Structure 1
């Protein structure tokens, strides 16, 4: 890849082959390197499984043939609800091969969430793991779902709507001659987290995965035509129900022909370090919380052979810099942040060639023209000012609208830019971006614009604070003031003295107008199923009190 004089990538080729799909990429890899391991799977109990690219091709074809016999075809919506699993790719790519749209769902959802999604996109088929069927059973009478396909299913079925993945694939051919599906055909409906309202159905076409190959794989994971994939093993710790699964396990592995490791177990730093060492993982993508917990372990006790460490899912903020430096000293690599959304590929990232600037998301990704606009106008902000991250609406790196929601499309694509709803600022050179929070969450106090993330970031650096959320609270003179909801760290006790201490601490850490004039200690913060803080609930609470 080419690099400019700042260490960032210079250009990108957006010539997307019209016939491109991830399934077609897998077929190419199976023909070229069929015996290469596509995925190596390890369960929490130590069970192992392995799939080569030839296995993956054959299994996705068998599942596609079985789906077609069930009557699932082009344009149908297929929900899936299963943990990390060795057959996850076969199920997903098999459904895509028949021209269906995948609707990923997280195991952290509730039956009401499943019902909402099924009704919203009119899904008639769901693939669910045997351990999660109790989430599906209650919604069958109130949703259009008419086929339930159970992964690892062995028990008796309630009626003829139920079958198993094994039964669907049994006796099917490993060759598949399906419909002509290409880059401009619909691929998936990924629902947003719902931080400010009902989750929205984000529609992506197959070209989305090609864009991951050109941006995420090359400029974030560091995989290009010169990479010796026989020496690489990738591990992204995400689950199958999140957009991040399409960012990395689907968007990087099968598109490049790389080998991936999948571990289905809860995060425990020592256990994950053991796995990193034993499996020989070379490229890791985890969330900042996991990196912070890694740093609390005895890193020197593990012979980790990483060449790249990536961070995604939440901002890699300034607070854990000291801990990140411990990781760099032990592993010889610095975790590199990347920013994007359910709606996009990586819009801002730290490439392998760049020197990481602590607390920054990195620089705009090549070929996307990511910028920061004034929240009230379509003009770029000056360095140091807070604005909204935005992308030209004709960029190939963003989504194709909301599924059957023209009123949302009209609102979202009415201007020249797709506005992400996320706030950021630039450094003095106008090159590195820093995350500041959600645009909906911006606090305007006495004329000052304040991003909640900087306030929260500074608060959690205090030993007494475990979590923090900053919102605007109505005020007669200032219009609004910063209100901080705080979850205390173990051993800390709520008191008026601690409130004063935290306010004085914040006045020293941030600009004077940013410190929280109101503080409330709480046991927990309201969050979405994906763990994002629902500041909208806290704002409504403040309006009820002071509005």
Structure 2
């Protein structure tokens, strides 16, 4: 197994960002399996820690890379005995705990396809995704076991269910069942283009889309991650942490897997919700050096009283944020609280992640700017109508990524060839984000070409919320938009037309809120529900969300 020197460029001195960008070239081996590089290459070192793991209940564990390899090999053998073959899909619905990463590694060893799933999903959201990808197996934790059981009879392909810290039913097995399997596993060769993972993302129309990525996906994330090491010139001594659950590309491949690729430890904390004081405690307890998460989490941490008087946070060297806009006040707070730690903003999406970001060691960070094109990625602003790069510097257009030859770009939308063709046009992967790029190469985000809601870093489909609300007998019609929120960036706002004979009451509001929480996810519920007599519609009967946004803007002014 080769070292892949291209992704260790931080070990060299660079006179400028431009010199690094010009010199960088992708290094993609003829055979490449992510499991080998995030686990097996480090497993012979008995002292190398992979995870410092805690739970909200107080349980603490330390796992080495050797521990991870042994468990992953056992699980891979167990899956093989259960009939999981190359290309089969296996869901992972676990909290932030080592077993989640181990499950991915095992599935990749088997040359199967992992499907990360949020523990916040209700039965509709979880059932749809497992059914859509035809998952043959699922590893599930205590917070989602009952949810899965509620929909399992409707999942024709699902045969194998492993529970973690949840008593299994007669049709399931507990994680300890893998103990009977061998700790040695002989992996078949994997091409970097082989299918590896499906991550679901929400848009504004239709159901959530399964974004299929190949094993090369990990390599595409490494340049942005490695930029964090430029100032130090080494990864030695680093300890990583993200509070985001590991079911999203912005945590799983922006932090978890790159950390493991470089053989460093990651702090995992399994809890139902984010607690800012706990975050400071973890920094002190484990000497966390590199922290990354959504801006919402940083805003919540900003509300903690006198953190530097109560916690030792001197270990922090770098803080990164993405998924939503970062204001100057957040950057100032980070650099003051963590005594001059660098701040790195990152931009991307499920289809092409970490393509723009700050490179603070070589270029100044500019408030209000997302950063520069990351080495290896060709990013520009195109005309939204023609997908041609004819937009002048400083003018608003659609942010786009050169598709061919970029390992971070998705393969396709699962079983949706027409949607794939719409996403990739004229050789560019269209992000559906409006933005600008100035003469010096700094990108700015200006808005969305669609209506997707980005709340606390989560991408939420208004149509998915609308369908869930409209299925309630008391709702005749509904429209959902995102509205600005100081803490979460945006929150869903629902406009509801009630059915004849129904009163738009506070009780109904609570019922509808709980319906979305239970059937989709807690972060998707509308924080504001307004009862209206009718909704603005287009000539084809679609809700005019722009008119709803104008209504909110007028009422808030």
State TM-score, norm by structure 1.
0.78
How many residue pairs get aligned? The number is 468
Pick one of 26, 29, 43 that aligns with 2:41.
29
Which residue in 1 is equivalent to 2:350?
Answer: 342
Is 1:184 aligned to residue 193 of structure 2? yes
Which residue in 1 is equivalent to 2:163?
Answer: 151
User: Which deviations, in whole Å up to 9, do the C-alpha atoms of 1:299-346 show, x marking residues without a partner?
Assistant: 331221211101022221x3xx23431321221124321001111131
CA–CA distance in structure 1, aligned partners of residues 190 and 47 of structure 2: 26
CA–CA distance in structure 1, aligned partners of residues 269 and 523 of structure 2: 20
Shift of 1:292: 1.6
Which residue in 1 is equivalent to 2:288?
Answer: 281
Structure 2: gaps of 5 or more residues: 1-8, 456-461, 463-480, 488-508, 529-534, 537-541, 552-557
Which residue in 1 is equivalent to 2:99?
Answer: 87
- 1:4-403 alignment, distance < 5 Å: 5=16, 9-10=20-21, 11-31=23-43, 33-153=45-165, 155=167, 157=169, 159=170, 161-167=171-177, 169-213=178-222, 215-219=223-227, 221-222=228-229, 226-229=233-236, 231-265=237-271, 266-297=273-304, 298-301=306-309, 302-304=311-313, 305-316=315-326, 318=327, 321-331=328-338, 332-353=340-361, 354-377=363-386, 378-394=388-404, 395-403=406-414
CA–CA distance in structure 2, aligned partners of residues 140 and 64 of structure 1: 23
CA–CA distance in structure 2, aligned partners of residues 99 and 531 of structure 1: 33
Shift of 1:399: 0.8
> Residue 140 of structure 2 contacts residue 164 of structure 2 at CA under 8 Å; is this kept in 1?
no
Between 1:402-411 and 1:61-70, the stretch displaced more is 402-411
SS at match of 1:170: helix
CA–CA distance in structure 2, aligned partners of residues 31 and 115 of structure 1: 36
> Residue 285 of structure 1 contacts residue 310 of structure 1 at CA under 8 Å; is this kept in 2?
yes
| Closer/same/farther in 2, CA of residues 385 and 26 from structure 1, 3 Å limit | closer
> Residue 254 of structure 2 contacts residue 354 of structure 2 at CA under 8 Å; is this kept in 1?
no
> Residue 149 of structure 1 contacts residue 165 of structure 1 at CA under 8 Å; is this kept in 2?
no
> Residue 115 of structure 1 contacts residue 143 of structure 1 at CA under 8 Å; is this kept in 2?
yes
Shift of 1:415: 1.8
What is the CA RMSD across the aligned residues, in angstroms?
3.3
CA–CA distance in structure 1, aligned partners of residues 188 and 88 of structure 2: 13
Shift of 1:430: 4.3
Shift of 1:35: 2.1
Shift of 1:101: 0.5
SS at match of 1:383: coil
CA–CA distance in structure 1, aligned partners of residues 20 and 147 of structure 2: 45
CA–CA distance in structure 2, aligned partners of residues 532 and 111 of structure 1: 14
| Closer/same/farther in 2, CA of residues 127 and 8 from structure 1, 3 Å limit | farther
Which residue in 1 is equivalent to 2:441?
Answer: 431
| Closer/same/farther in 2, CA of residues 530 and 112 from structure 1, 3 Å limit | same
Pick one of 413, 417, 435 that aligns with 2:428.
417
Shift of 1:98: 0.6
Shift of 1:391: 1.1
| Closer/same/farther in 2, CA of residues 488 and 39 from structure 1, 3 Å limit | closer
Is 1:540 aligned to residue 552 of structure 2? no
User: Which deviations, in whole Å up to 9, do the C-alpha atoms of 1:24-71 show, x marking residues without a partner?
Assistant: 114543355342001110111221011101111111111101111111
> Residue 20 of structure 1 contacts residue 210 of structure 1 at CA under 8 Å; is this kept in 2?
no
| Closer/same/farther in 2, CA of residues 250 and 290 from structure 1, 3 Å limit | closer
Shift of 1:421: 0.7
State TM-score, norm by structure 2.
0.76
| Closer/same/farther in 2, CA of residues 208 and 113 from structure 1, 3 Å limit | same
> Residue 236 of structure 1 contacts residue 249 of structure 1 at CA under 8 Å; is this kept in 2?
yes
